[in-house]
Amino acid sequence: MDRRRFLMGSAATAGAVPLLVGCVDRLVPDAVAGPSVDPEIDELQSRTFRWFRDVTRAENGLTPDRWPSESFSSVAAVGFALSCWPVGVARGWMTRAEARERTLTTVRFFHDAPQGPEATGVIGYKGFFYHFLDMETGHRFGETELSTVDTALLLAGMLFAARWFDGDHPDEMEIRRRVQAVYERVEWDWAVVRPDRITMGWHPESGFIEADWHVYNEGMIVLLLALGSPTHPVAPSVWSEWCSVYDQSWTDDWGPAHLHFPPMFGHQYSHMFIDFRGIGDAWMRAKSAEIGPFDYFENSRRAVLAQQKYAVDNPMGWVGYGADVWGLTACDGPGDFKAVVAGREREFFSYSARGPGTRDDGTLAPTAAAASLPFAPEAVTACVKAMKARYGAAIYTEHGFLDAFNPTLTESHPDLLHGRMVPGVGWVDTDYLGIDQGPIVVMTENHRSDLVWRAMRGEPNLIRGLKRAGFTGGWLDDA
């Protein structure tokens, strides 16, 4: 499930985070107690946060898909920016007043921008939003699709903001009111075009996309927000249908058995906003009865270990892979071409989803590891430190890690799409991508202070969705 339209043809064990039970009615914005992190992790989070602050437009709240290359806005990246502002307040990088102003500007823009079935001049349709928007007007960019997952990630950021801005200030009250209105107008039931399956999107020119959310991946956030809608919910059978194909994804390749989805983002995105620790649906309860305590958080932890083991095994013999440098996900790449490297023909790709058992061209994405901090903090911290120590300023700058790099490709090629060649390093991207930057900030904070998870454990729309999907246990039983 490539994020850019399918470009690629027990908790008690090490690395788990203890379960924090219960939800809060009012959040304390400056409460940052939690596990200490290495200073280099703190610095990475700070620099990555700064990227959002520096590139998000103050006039409309739109965040570019990529930067510094000229770019359209990604609505998912906007949702991640909204999630970053409270983190900035909690860490002392931004005042609450600035965070509130930025958030209200964004929410007002998405609340008021025109929607309709037209192919141009609108931001979305049926409450959903187009994947990419013009940075100036906010209208649909080109012929991009109306995206159910990107809408869901934007809404998740909005719902978190509405929970966090819980004060009596008129602007905070307006944030909460407008966010709920944006969420309630999404016609999730309209997107169920095949029995019990939500489509991935729609084009005004050609109708619904043929692909549905029907394999284990980041789509949990789509289904759970659809189930929780108070106005246009989908049936609980949508979740049962979603889980019906899980057995096809269960594997013990490259490590402990887990629901496998090759690129790491599929194990991160829904977890940015949902604390899956200690809660489970019917499938997870059955699997726990079979193998012992198991939940979606543990599944992601195992996926991290599988990625690390894959890098150690390095079946394709790529340069740089190992126990301390690993991480495959959807990211930029050198380009779409073949080249002979060290006497062996290699195939490289541009932006694409990468992962164990599928497309792998030696391109590493720092976000694959860095945004996995809650799942395996020791392994992730070691990886972040090793990448910085080995490749230095070539991949790590004032805004954190550049999106991707490839140590195997050390000579330029006429079909190189973008990026640059760095002597002694290899190919290095020259852009940052919002959808890869955001998970680093949010997941680091979830590990450090439980900030986003704590807020969302009290989010009534999400709680409704989880319960309609059949989740029970842990904090949810007290919600």
pLDDT tens digit sequence for 6-27: 333 223 223 332 222 222 333 4
pLDDT tens digit sequence for 280-318: 999 999 999 999 999 999 999 999 999 999 999 999 999
CA 282 to chain CA centroid, Å, is: 25
Dist. CA 149–CA 129, nearest whole Å: 10
pLDDT tens digit sequence for 429-475: 999 999 999 999 999 999 999 999 999 999 999 999 999 999 999 99
Give the pLDDT confidence score for residue 334 in this predicted structure: 98
For the chain, the distance separating the N- and C-terminal CA atoms, rounded to the nearest angstrom, is 32
Let me know if residue 391 belongs to a domain. yes
Dist. CA 203–CA 210, nearest whole Å: 11
Let me know if residue 26 belongs to a domain. no
pLDDT tens digit sequence for 175-192: 999 999 999 999 999 999
Q: Which residues contact 127 (CB under 8 A, 6 or more apart)?
A: 115, 151, 182, 185, 186, 187, 232
What are the CA-CA distances from residue 338 to residues 24, 330, 350, 409, 470 (Å)? 54, 19, 12, 11, 48
User: Which pTM does this prediction carry?
Assistant: 0.93
Let me know if residue 294 belongs to a domain. yes
Let me know if residue 377 belongs to a domain. yes
Let me know if residue 175 belongs to a domain. yes
Domain that holds residue 349: 39-471
Dist. CA 140–CA 119, nearest whole Å: 8
Let me know if residue 18 belongs to a domain. no
Check: CB of residue 135 under 8 Å from CB of residue 67: no
Let me know if residue 24 belongs to a domain. no
Counted domains in the chain: 1
Tokens representing 104 are: 């209200």
Q: What is the CATH number of the domain that holds 132?
A: 1.50.10.140
Nearest to 358 by CA among 260, 256, 217: 260
Average pLDDT for 260-282:
98
Give the pLDDT confidence score for residue 32 in this predicted structure: 54
Let me know if residue 49 belongs to a domain. yes
Helix-strand-coil split of the chain, %, nearest 5: 40, 15, 45
Q: How confident is the model at residue 35 (pLDDT cuts 50, 70, 90)?
A: confident
Check: CB of residue 152 under 8 Å from CB of residue 221: yes
